[in-house]
Structure 1
């Protein structure tokens, strides 16, 4: 079906291109003929000479060619306007998760039990996902690219909110927790880590309140 559509589009393109080129060339040569005819009338009736007529024709030609070259800049302006529209749309977007929100509860004692309960997020063809990770458990998420392994981590750190279901820590929905405090309880080492332009010690102790040397040695 798609090949048939492409075939019909190619036929239409093959018919329109020669007609368009023919129309442009006909307009061009008709303009030349009109200019020469009117110039001859000016020479006969008003005393113009050939050099004056040719100068006018060449000036018009150069002006038209310059306007044609200017259309490239108009296209660039249009592309820039479209890109700026998308950029400002992203800047002005109001995210569902406000990183500056200081409301929410703070747990006195965090054990670290993580649970995803009937979570549904962005995969309309797939069923809900449930997972429970008790504190102290070492677990691996294994699957093909695009299966949702990184999405699970992003949901637990609340970079996204699930469309349905709950993400729980110690039995408490993370939507009820203070966002900055909750994220400060997680440590994530990406597959491709990025070092900040500081010392190794400061990189390890980043976002940790009053780290001791023993804490840094333990992390190493």
Structure 2
């Protein structure tokens, strides 16, 4: 007797995704179940980058399905597709950016920039396209931490091409000025500079923009 789709779904429900803390069916990441006699194929599409996880996920789900009576072989195709979170009311999404993660602290010298860079690199290694914006106008450190020097190019004289390093797209006021140049900024000037760095940079299909505040 051939296995049913409902039986396959019940088998998948026995697995709890450690990142979603839900089973794949309840989480809505099971996109297709195909049954051909005693062979089953399942398509899983996660909503987060999972380069280091999808092989284990596929193997674990394959084991669950093949434990069912009437199943001789199972194939699980697991991948990911990062979507955009909705923006706050009255605001427009940023062009070329799906999601924004801000890293902030109440004081300086606590490792905020280090955390921002490590988070960006971790997401990139898991398969996401990541940009990092150095919003510290007074003491930009991202260029040095990523080992990037030089100035960003502008093809049209208006927008800026992000700098690249370690697989990341990066932008910082530190690319525009000499590191030893003292900066004297007042509130409106800081706000304007940050808006220009954010909006005038031609981010290229970034899944996550990490902002080091």
* TM-score, with structure 1 as normaliser: 0.20
The structure with higher relative contact order (CA 8 Å, sep 6+) is: 2
Greater helix content: 1
Greater strand content: 2
Higher Cα Rg: structure 1 or 2? 1
